[in-house]
Structure 1
Amino acid sequence: MAPRRERPKRRRFSAEFKAAILAEYEAADRADRGAILRREGLYASNIIEWRKAAAAGAQAGLGPATRDRRDKEIEALRARAEKAEGELARTRAALDLVGKAHALLETLSESAEPAKRSRQ
């Protein structure tokens, strides 16, 4: 059996790297632009995406997409925590009510016992 090949890791580019490459690409002559892409191992589609993000004024858009995923996960965890806190509050209220009912029944039971004894 042949050894299993490792799957290549996806490259991630920092916002600073993207901005620097965009600036260098925009400043270069048309003939030199292909050389920049080859040197960095990039595709023209990378430049197009980064240019759109920069044009939208989204410096954060030049950053990695993991931030959005992390923000969504944090929001989901906050929602779960709020739901759990609500359930905890309802459970505590129910336990408090059960405790009061138990105390009331105990009091009623104690007050009924002397009446039973006096009849005998």
Structure 2
Amino acid sequence: MTMTLADAARIDDGVVSPRADRPKRRTFTAEYKAKILADYDAADRGERGAILRREGLYSSHIVEWRKAAESGAASALAPQAKDRRERQRDREVEQLRARAEKAEAELARTRAALDIVGKAHALLETLSESTGTPKPPGR
């Protein structure tokens, strides 16, 4: 099949497809979700539909948010990181945090060991003085 100039014009005519002007998906903060769940649960059965219409929500939102809240996952109420770069950054932050904790633990062990060595040195010095052995020159 050969491509004609008419075919080329139809492909790249600069017209935006109908899907390009669709609105973006909304994201909700954890605070907003918790507030709506509280309002929805406190409302009478007849008022619940009004809350959903006012906020532009569906009952499936409430069901999903309630499941997340009941599972005790407050972080599940927050929007999920969808961007690969965000997930990579979060992984890197966790790795650096673990590395810092490991370094701090090692530093604490090293300080404890130095403290013990210093005390042992002081004890040996005290013992050598009590036995009457002379100190080495230069001290």
TM-score by length of 2: 0.48
Alignment match, 2:71 = 56
Larger mean Cα displacement after TM superposition, 56-65 or 3-12: 3-12
Partner of residue 45, structure 1? 60
CA contact (8 A) 2:37 2:62 kept: yes
Structure 1: distance between partners of 2:14 and 2:83: 39
Sort the Cα spacing of 1:54 and 1:48 in 2 relative to 1 into closer, same or farther, 3 A: same
Structure 1 counterpart of 2:88, from 73, 76, 85: 73
Q: What is residue 130 of structure 2 aligned with on the other side?
A: none
Q: Name the aligned partner's letter for residue 30 of structure 1.
A: R
Give distance in 1, aligned partners of 2:34 and 2:85.
23
Tell me the SS of whatever aligns to 2:57. Answer: coil
* Superposition deviation, residue 60 in structure 1: 0.7
- Residue 12 of structure 1 corresponds to which residue in structure 2? 27
**What are structure 2's unaligned runs of at least 5 residues?**
1-12, 96-139
Calculate the aligned-residue CA RMSD, in Å: 3.0
Question: SS of the residue aligned with 1:11?
Answer: coil
Residues paired across the two proteins, number = 79
Q: Distance in 2 between matches of 1:77 and 1:60?
A: 17
Q: Percent identity?
A: 56
* Unaligned residue ranges in structure 1 (runs of 5+): 80-120
My pick for the range that moved more, 45-54 or 2-11, is 2-11
For 1:94-105, what aligned pairs fall within 5 Å after superposition?
A: none
Question: For residue 41 of structure 1, what is the amino acid of its counterpart?
Answer: G
Cα 1:34–1:69, aligned 2, differ >3 Å: closer, same or farther?
farther
Residue 33 of structure 2 aligns to which amino acid in structure 1? K
2:51 equivalent to 1:36 = yes
Cα distance in structure 2, aligned partners of 1:76 and 1:19? 30
